[in-house]
Chains A and B, each alone.
Chain A
């Protein structure tokens, strides 16, 4: 501390996400506050993060699995469906809350200097706290139907979790910063959220897309969320299939060797662009809010 006292520094010039790491204590308090406040006065509290996805799952399962009879061609369709839903929910919740986080915390941002990246990052953490119980439900369901994952598959789950968190942070930084200047940003994000469930093979099979898109299938695969959902299917759904249920085309060719690295690179690029945009726009947050 003594060394800091010895030099003059420019106030309000942070190091972006690195500062968030240095402010872990405040980040922890912000996350805790957010969770406490979100469920204040509700009887079920954090239980809501189980109830909502379960209802969502039931709707899809009844409408698509039973009415449209997707479960006939897909063994363990319930697992297939749920593993995609929880992952997409994690992403959409991170993104939409991070987008609003700067505007929502305008009172603070206008009055006190803090590394502003704290707010989007905190919302992604909150989403992660909601995601983990859902993941436990998924694991429980998988174990009931005889889940035997390999170590590699478990490692892939962790990697995908991190990837989706980073993707949500990157896009959240981008849209959150733009939202300060143009509130259209929230609407754009709402649209992305609406599209993302359908733009990845959550409800249907990737082979259906390949039949429709043919040689242009690679465009579909460029979406990091698509790859993330496919890897989740590979880690959760495929190891629950019995020998006679195994399908040759459970996952697209080159999923782990080609598409996973590509998706990781795209995700890191998104984070980079998000942070860059955020830093440029953050300079005038206090006066624009």
Chain B
């Protein structure tokens, strides 16, 4: 495939600002307007400050940083859930976010219905799901429980099914947010093997995780975010070392 060829994700001067709005009612907003807009109706918070980043097709990138450094925000901008306040983000090919697996699950539906619903939500067509249904069930190890309502699943079964659907969506770019810690250890190993297989197929991976040892084995490149700015971008082992050093100093 096109190993390290075209640009898969391009971020230029990305800025994202969150408004911590306090009011949720028209009355308060009107009173504020009538009073001559005195005081701040809202508080602002800059989550990303002019982040520029380019990821080539087939690259495996680990996005690291402490809590609140803007990792998830950047991931959501790339997936299109959030829109930037400044700068541009562009992607090539289909992007699938393995962001919080199971977001599209409905507890009162059977596993089978959820495979279809969640697969469609992640952008699969009816034909694709039909074709991959057996493979999804097999990978998830759900077996005969596939026609049981999801609310009766154990948390492990739930996550396994969700993860299985997500890895079967077959996009060009995978965004992965803290989902590698899925299920028990054998299943986790299976997930990591699957993710490595995907990267071997030339898929672009963009991983957010606090599990530094794990990302170091899955990814080649590391990007370190701190307070919404990229402070380091390079070989994953060096970046992991830098993050460890910074954490111990603080």
Contact = CB atoms under 8 A, between A and B. Distances in A.
A182 interface: yes
Nearest to A11: B80
Contact of A112 (B78, B90, B103): B103
A31 B100 CA distance: 23
- Judged by DSSP, the binding face of B is mixed
A107 interface: yes
Contact of B120 (A6, A10, A25, A111): A25
Interface string B64-97: 0000000000001111111100001111111101
Contacts of A113: 79-81, 97
Interface in A169-218: 181-184
A9 B91 contact: yes
Contacts of B108: 36-37, 40
Contacts of B172: 5
B29 interface: yes
Contact of A29 (B78, B93, B120): B120
Interface stretch (A44-52, A243-251, A280-288): A280-288
Contacts of B120: 23, 25-26, 29
Interface string A72-97: 00000000000000000000000000
B117 A4 contact: no
B22 interface: no
A14 to B, nearest CB: 9
B82 A29 contact: no
Contacts of B125: 25
Interface in B114-168: 116-117, 120-122, 125-126
A10 B90 contact: yes
Contacts of A40: 108
Contacts of B80: 10-13, 113
B83 A37 contact: no
A108 interface: yes
A37 B29 CA distance: 36
Contacts of A36: 108-109, 113
Contact of A183 (B25, B94, B95, B99): B25
Interface in A1-32: 4-13, 23, 25-26, 29-30, 32
B106 interface: yes
Contacts of B121: 26, 108, 112, 114
B29 A283 contact: no
Nearest to B110: A36
Contacts of B93: 4-5
Given A5-B172, A33-B106, A287 B18 contact: yes
B82 A287 contact: yes
Contacts of B92: 5-9
B24 interface: yes
A24 B193 CA distance: 34
Contact of A12 (B26, B81, B106): B81
Interface in A254-289: 283-284, 286-288
Interface in B19-42: 19, 21, 24-27, 29
Contacts of A181: 24
Contact of B26 (A30, A37, A184): A184
Interface in A118-134: none
B117 A107 contact: no
Contacts of B7: 8
Contact of B81 (A13, A23, A32, A110): A110
B166 to A, nearest CB: 10
A182 B103 contact: no
A274 to B, nearest CB: 19
A111 B100 contact: yes
A112 B104 contact: yes
B10 interface: yes
Given A25-B126, A29-B120, A284 B99 contact: no
A144 B146 CA distance: 47
A23 B76 CA distance: 21
Nearest to A40: B108
A2 B91 CA distance: 14
Nearest to B125: A25
A23 B119 CA distance: 12
A29 B21 contact: no
B45 to A, nearest CB: 11
A111 B88 contact: no
A283 B82 CA distance: 7
8 contacts: A8-B10, A11-B95, A29-B120, A33-B109, A36-B109, A37-B108, A108-B121, A288-B21
Query: What 8 pairs across the A-B complex have the smallest Cβ distances?
Result: A12-B80, A11-B80, A113-B80, A8-B90, A26-B120, A111-B103, A184-B26, A5-B93
